[in-house]
Structure 1
Amino acid sequence: MSRPQYHAGVRILSFSGSPAEIGEAFGRQCRAEIPLLYAARLRNAIGQAKLHGGRDVGEEAVLKVARACVEPTRAYHPDGFAELEGIARGAELPLEKILAMNGLTDLRDILAWGGELESLGGCSAFMLGGNVTRTGKLLCGQTWDLATDNMPHVIAVHRRPSHSPQTWTLTTDGCLSLIGLNEAGIAIGTTNIRTTDARPGVTYLSMIHKALAASSLEDAALAISSAPRAGAHFYFLADASGRGLALECTPDHVDATPVEAGVYVHTNHCLVPANQAIESDTPSSSSHARQVRLEALIEADRGRADLDSAKRWLADRESDELGICRLGFNGISSNGAVIMEPQSGTIHVCHGPAHEAAWFDLRAAV
């Protein structure tokens, strides 16, 4: 287990070996931080359930659902499950707490907690075909909006698994991949949506982790579409040849849109009519405003969009409530952001709201 590196204020952890070895090293390295993140996520979710839905939901209800997700997760991706088990051993915590921490937004939906979607997170994502960018290469990225008290737990992780591509990701203490790139050029990110068909199953970080073990866009997409999904999410995928794919998924439906040209933006409301019919909450004004604002910013840079342009879009603070970049509004902040150009193997990340954070090239930093 190597010592953490620090770059632009971001803790960068590097691990190698089997999935179990990587997990144990990860759990040991973050043994002090993991219980704090688990407690923060649990506290936030329980508080929102009471505030918005009037529901007195406790930790045991969360862990009961997490336990119901164990066997589907084990069967779906044994390597990812072995890493989760390793994290639990290294952190000296029960597996169900590690699984709950990794998939708490999905577990919240399974429990049908009420409240605005924005109260537990957000995110604004984009994919641009090469005909829109200055370099002619596909560009993709997103903000990562979470409860502000998650901010100290944001980390970058470089994994070198024994039998799958190495990966560079932004995530949190003790968690699988969230947004990232692998050495085969597969890029992935996600935004949260919420539908009424949530159920015990495989949570989103496990799916992203499996997708980043793939060497082709087709296999990465299959990792998402074939999963017995617990909750609803949007995923973007791209590869080293400049192909992109937008997947809006509920547990029961997958809608796939190829993106090789033009602009595709997704925030936190469903764009697919079949999915809109089963959205569990009225989408927030913030989600719609961020969608419109990000599309307008991209359109203004059409034909000359590049990494610097994208950093400016993700730093946009048109307003505290409705801006793409958020800073503590209603307890939610942009905890980080990622921009990737898979054809050149580029991944730039920042920790915290992009309007004040320092960006850096993650691959060059490790």
Structure 2
Amino acid sequence: MSDLLALDLAGSAFERGRGQGVARDRAEQVRAATVGRVATARAEGLIDADARDYLAAQYAFHEAVDPDGLAEMVGIAAGFELDPQEMFAHLHLGTLRDLKGGGRLEDGCSSWAVGQGPDGPLVVKNRDFFGTHLGIQTVARHEGPDVATGAMLCLGSLGSPGAYSSGINARGFALADTQVAVRTHRVGWLRYFLMGRLLARCATVAQALDLIRAHPHAGGGTLVMADASGATAAVELGAAGPQVTQGPVVWRTNHYVSPALGADTLLPQGDVIAGNSGRRFAHLAATLPGQDWDGAAAQRLMATHDPAPICQHGADDGTMTIASAVYSCAAPGLLVCPQNPCSGDWRHHPLTG
């Protein structure tokens, strides 16, 4: 059984970040999963002068548009006695690899959202990763002066910003991401910071889309989201501008599908996640529309192995589903399985009470 740490974090963004340090017994694993990966990337030549210039421009951008997100990251670094600049580089490793022509998709995921059903609007995600975050996954409740929506509950990892995967706030707005390797990046919002600000500031999908459209994006990745009214959206966060799909049900895997961004997707040769992204997308497209989805049905879908590996076991390259999440917008909370969802090890985490 995989550990899933439950954290209750309150105070300023910096204080909530530093509060992760309560899990100091996991400090070495956090170091390996964050700055340790940066050290490896530097040894491989990934962080050269161009990369350093890009990271400096990105830091300046986030200082201007998201000081709270940076404060949280600096707090996390303080909590684990790590270099905050190295932590910032860690969050950009996928982007830096893309800028060098692409590499393995260690972070994959399948996500979808539905606007109505027996349990109301849902946001659902399988979190696919290379395994370095097993043992440091968290379900964290955040409350503080920058969280205008009251409180938020996030599935993430020690050493990373709160919404480093998915989350929901007290207003019933929920979101989840997927990774997409792309050919084009620019200076702009990094998804891992953007997600936290959306949960902290937005009560509805409409408000989230306004915030997303207000600034440029670094490029790469998607979001799916829903709110308590039943609105849903899928957003491809391209450097050329976000592409938005809305409807009763939306879904994304690990490639872009919009006409404007489809050709921007990088599909690394021999990469398992990239190789099965199309199959997973097609299975969701064939399965999701026209059905009434409740939490139990969502759990069953995310445990699917055939005809597409929605639930991945790492047989080929070690990439596996390390958690599965079902967020309820009607009664804000989370059903989470901290390992492969086919295990049946589901737990309920309400946002309040």
- TM > 0.5: yes
Tell me how far 1:272 sits from its aligned partner: 0.4
- Residue of structure 2 equivalent to 1:105: 94
Q: Find the aligned partners of 2:256 and 2:21 in 1 and give their Cα distance.
A: 35
**Which residue of 39, 60, 67 corresponds with 1:71?**
60
- Residue of structure 2 equivalent to 1:236: 224
Alignment size in residue pairs: 340
Q: Is 1:134 paired with 2:134?
A: no
Name the aligned partner's letter for residue 71 of structure 1.
A
Q: Find the aligned partners of 1:63 and 1:335 in 2 and give their Cα distance.
A: 31
Does structure 1 retain, via aligned residues, the 8 Å contact 2:312–2:321? yes
**Which residue of 148, 152, 168 corresponds with 2:135?**
152
**Distance change in 2, residues 1:44/1:191 (3 Å):** farther
Q: Is 1:37 paired with 2:46?
A: no
Q: Find the aligned partners of 2:128 and 2:140 in 1 and give their Cα distance.
A: 19
Q: Find the aligned partners of 1:134 and 1:363 in 2 and give their Cα distance.
A: 18
Q: Find the aligned partners of 1:86 and 1:24 in 2 and give their Cα distance.
A: 4
Name the aligned partner's letter for residue 316 of structure 1.
T
Q: Is 1:166 paired with 2:160?
A: no
Does structure 1 retain, via aligned residues, the 8 Å contact 2:3–2:137? no
Identity fraction in percent: 24
Matches within 5 A, 1:1-366: 9-27=3-21, 29-30=23-24, 31-39=27-35, 41-42=37-38, 56-58=44-46, 65-109=54-98, 111-115=99-103, 119-130=105-116, 133-135=117-119, 137-164=120-147, 165-176=150-161, 177-178=163-164, 179-217=166-204, 218-259=206-247, 261=248, 263-281=249-267, 284-298=274-288, 302-318=290-306, 322-328=308-314, 329-356=316-343, 358-363=345-350
Misfit runs of 4+, over 6 Å: 43-47
TM-score normalized with structure 2 length: 0.87
Other structure's SS at 1:316 match: coil
- Residue of structure 2 equivalent to 1:50: none
Other structure's SS at 1:206 match: helix
Name the aligned partner's letter for residue 226 of structure 1.
A
Does structure 1 retain, via aligned residues, the 8 Å contact 2:224–2:250? no
**Distance change in 2, residues 1:45/1:94 (3 Å):** closer
**Distance change in 2, residues 1:227/1:144 (3 Å):** farther
Name the aligned partner's letter for residue 225 of structure 2.
L
Q: Find the aligned partners of 1:78 and 1:115 in 2 and give their Cα distance.
A: 30
Residue ranges of structure 2 left out of the alignment (5+ in a row): none
Name the aligned partner's letter for residue 209 of structure 2.
A
Name the aligned partner's letter for residue 306 of structure 1.
D
Other structure's SS at 1:265 match: strand
Tell me how far 1:228 sits from its aligned partner: 3.1
Tell me how far 1:64 sits from its aligned partner: 5.8
Does structure 2 retain, via aligned residues, the 8 Å contact 1:67–1:96? no
Q: Find the aligned partners of 2:268 and 2:262 in 1 and give their Cα distance.
A: 10
Name the aligned partner's letter for residue 134 of structure 1.
P
Tell me how far 1:60 sits from its aligned partner: 5.8
**Distance change in 2, residues 1:44/1:189 (3 Å):** farther
Tell me how far 1:59 sits from its aligned partner: 5.2
Cα deviations by residue, 1:19-69 (Å, 9 ceiling, x for unpaired): 12112222454544421211564478689xxxxxxxx42456666643432
Q: Find the aligned partners of 1:183 and 1:276 in 2 and give their Cα distance.
A: 34
Q: Find the aligned partners of 1:355 and 1:43 in 2 and give their Cα distance.
A: 35
Q: Find the aligned partners of 2:180 and 2:196 in 1 and give their Cα distance.
A: 19
Name the aligned partner's letter for residue 166 of structure 1.
A
Q: Find the aligned partners of 2:253 and 2:291 in 1 and give their Cα distance.
A: 23
